[in-house]
Structure 1
Amino acid sequence: MTFSATTVLVLALIAAVIVAIGLWAYSTANRLDRLHVRSDQSWQALDAALGRRAVVARSVAMAIADPASDPALAGQAAQLSQLAARAERAGRADRETAENQLSGALSTIDITQLRPQMVAELADAEARVLIARRFHNDAVRDTLALRTRRPVRILHLGGTAPLPTYFEITERATPAASTGLSVDTIRTTARIVLFDEHDRTLLMRGNDPKTPDVSFWFTVGGGVEPGETLRTAAVRELYEETGHQADPESLRGPIWRRVAVFPFDGELIRSEELFFALRVRGYEPQATNLTAIERRSITGHQWCTTEDIVRLDSSGEVVYPYNLDELLPEAAAAASGIAHPEVRSIR
């Protein structure tokens, strides 16, 4: 039995299409599996952050519970403690309602009546919930975007894993982390601790346009624009400042959170900075799309070893974040996938 050249060609094309579909289905199933893992891990992180907030809420309730001085405060404390306990016991279906009730109760607390240490603890707990919720919802969005595609549904590439769900929670209108200062700009910033294959870290050199003679060093990154996720903002800033294009999914973290209040170009800015870690092959940074203010304020860059950072600090040129030389091993381990640290506050 012989086949014509046309028949052979058609069979080859059919085989190629089948192989292509198989490879696509295999890679898509693997990607979905990673997205499901990411969603599960992000929910675990959010659950832990909510649990910590409930513990802090009970501490706040104990701090304000004083029926002798103010019976109204005692009632408020009792309600806060009750709502915290309810939030901890709530199942997944009722968790949003319980946590939103706790948020509402916390927003009524007059933080000026609390000790500064308690205000800081509450601010940190609320910030961790905000970060964890943001990353959980980002993971859910990415998973649903792929799971709901028609070919994925037809081929059942999502398996039997349940669809993840968003978690929405009310945020405090007046943050407990208020500094008491009148600031001109409040922003969220995404930063990357960038390593090359030799464990050197890329730092940018800059200055305040109002004080051009005073230089400082900082990691790559910048403000999150409306509609952007932290990861999207981080890779955009990386490309604009250095010319390197990275996949948002390749970022590890966030590993650190830093709240900074500083003057810049005549304004007082309050910035909440979230740091990711990323390892790449060394390259020569070349800015691609700096803003006018960045062109005036960014004056150079350097791939730095730990010893280089110590020397820069000793020379009087401050490196941000503080104690970066001591923090780098933690970031390097995260960038290499060796460790998965929980986001923590730094200076």
Structure 2
Amino acid sequence: MSTLVAVLALLALLVVACGLYLVATANRLDRLHVRMDAGWAALDAALARRAVVARTVAASALTGAEAERLREAAQDAEAVPRPERELAENELTRLLGAIDRTRLPRPLADELADAEHRVVIARRVYNDAVRDTLALRRRRDVRYFKLAGTARLPEYFEIAEPELDPASALPRPRTAARVVLVDDQGRVLLCRGHDPDPDGAPSWGTVGGTVEDGEDLRAAAVRELKEATGLDTPGDRLVGPVWRRRVETTVGGRPVSGTEWYFLAETTATAARTSGTTELRWWRPDELARCGEPVHPAQLPQLLPEVLDGGWDGRLRSIR
């Protein structure tokens, strides 16, 4: 009888463990879909802005058949359904690429170049999200237990990228993974020198860095945390991503646009390797509010008490 009870208890534990694993996987998949939807919204907005600028170019700087073709291509790119969108956007790219930019007024040429930069960035960010989502959805456990539910299968958005001016082209968009590491005293660990202001002033930011090509956000956060503090934290111990932040800054005189994804992790003050350097420091929320140097994200003094007191509510928040 006791053997039967032990076997049943073991089976029950196994079922519970499998259930928890599937729930965690489903939650992760849901977060990836949220990230992908946000990426598509940003891409759709960037493409819409390019179409508006293209119509402005057609109306104010071109004449005759050239202006009419560009105007119609811009309207088609905005009006066609999603399955035909790639062809329409490629046609608009082709027509814009054939324009002699020296004929355009300088402000209009700059606005067109900026719109094209943003399309390139938004498309790459969206496709990165699609890649990560597809990688998880192709796993056997996700397919067998139908963890994706009725969500449509993600699709890459493949268009010919406009040829950007090398003198003003933006670098590859920066996707970063960061960790809001808090200790048992309610303090957050910040690194000095992160995300400098345009005037070169130093600032304080959370531990983290750029996601490498082909690297998962959570894996990047684990790697960056270990490099900065020596903490070898399992990926499933990271909560989130809890926040998303758009970054517009300048590095080496060139503009940079990217997205930062923030995870939450807990530790003790003695576990993290922070001694021997002035670049890492534990901060209480009230100390951050009085900090004489810029803090990134700017809302950290207000956001930190929320996650410390009430925990994460499961919703991804956009912050500044």
Same topology, TM > 0.5: yes
Contact 2:191 2:280 in 1 (8 A): yes
Match of 1:253 among 230, 244, 247: 244
The CA deviation string for residues 61-117 of structure 1, in whole angstroms up to 9 with x for no partner, is 22321x4xxxxxx43332221111100001111111111221222222232332332
**2:256 corresponds to which letter in structure 1?**
E
Question: Matched residue pairs, number?
Answer: 290
1:328 aligns with 2:298: yes
1:81 aligns with 2:71: yes
Inter-CA distance 233–18: structure 2 relative to 1 (3 Å threshold):
closer
Inter-CA distance 331–88: structure 2 relative to 1 (3 Å threshold):
farther
1:119 aligns with 2:104: no
Give 5+ residue unaligned stretches, structure 2: 308-314
Match of 2:157 among 142, 167, 173: 167
1:140 corresponds in structure 2 to 130
- Residues 1-347 of structure 1 mapped to structure 2, 5 A cutoff: 4-65=1-62, 67=63, 74-175=64-165, 178-179=167-168, 189-190=174-175, 202-204=191-193, 217=202, 226-227=213-214, 240-241=227-228, 250=241, 252-262=243-253, 270=254, 272-274=256-258, 276=260, 278=262, 300=279, 305=288, 308-309=291-292, 328-329=298-299, 340=318
The CA deviation string for residues 123-181 of structure 1, in whole angstroms up to 9 with x for no partner, is 33223222322222222222222222222222222222221111112212233x8449x
Distance 1:280 1:24 in 2: 19
Q: Counterpart of 2:256 in 1: which secondary structure?
A: strand
**1:131 corresponds to which letter in structure 2?**
I
Contact 2:250 2:256 in 1 (8 A): yes
The CA deviation string for residues 29-51 of structure 1, in whole angstroms up to 9 with x for no partner, is 33333333332232222212211
Distance 1:325 1:50 in 2: 32
1:320 corresponds in structure 2 to none
Contact 2:53 2:115 in 1 (8 A): yes
Give 5+ residue unaligned stretches, structure 1: 68-73, 208-214, 263-269, 288-297, 311-323
Root mean square deviation of aligned Cα: 4.3
CA drift at 1:186: 5.4
**Considering only CA atoms, is the larger Rg found in Structure 1 or Structure 2?**
1
Contact 2:132 2:216 in 1 (8 A): no
Distance 1:81 1:193 in 2: 43
Q: Counterpart of 2:39 in 1: which secondary structure?
A: helix
Inter-CA distance 43–86: structure 2 relative to 1 (3 Å threshold):
same
CA drift at 1:7: 2.1
Q: Counterpart of 2:202 in 1: which secondary structure?
A: strand
Distance 2:296 2:193 in 1: 18
**1:28 corresponds to which letter in structure 2?**
T
Distance 1:154 1:171 in 2: 37
CA drift at 1:21: 2.2
Inter-CA distance 53–259: structure 2 relative to 1 (3 Å threshold):
farther
Inter-CA distance 119–203: structure 2 relative to 1 (3 Å threshold):
farther
Distance 1:169 1:92 in 2: 13
Which sits farther off after the overlay, 163-172 or 135-144? 135-144
Which sits farther off after the overlay, 273-282 or 26-35? 273-282
Inter-CA distance 24–87: structure 2 relative to 1 (3 Å threshold):
same
**1:328 corresponds to which letter in structure 2?**
A
Which sits farther off after the overlay, 330-339 or 124-133? 330-339
Contact 1:29 1:157 in 2 (8 A): yes
Which sits farther off after the overlay, 228-237 or 46-55? 228-237
CA drift at 1:23: 2.2
- TM value normalised by structure 2: 0.69
**2:97 corresponds to which letter in structure 1?**
S
Contact 1:193 1:331 in 2 (8 A): no
Inter-CA distance 157–231: structure 2 relative to 1 (3 Å threshold):
closer
Contact 2:245 2:318 in 1 (8 A): no
Q: Percent identity?
A: 40
Contact 1:193 1:202 in 2 (8 A): no
The CA deviation string for residues 7-38 of structure 1, in whole angstroms up to 9 with x for no partner, is 22222222222222222223323333333333
**1:58 corresponds to which letter in structure 2?**
R
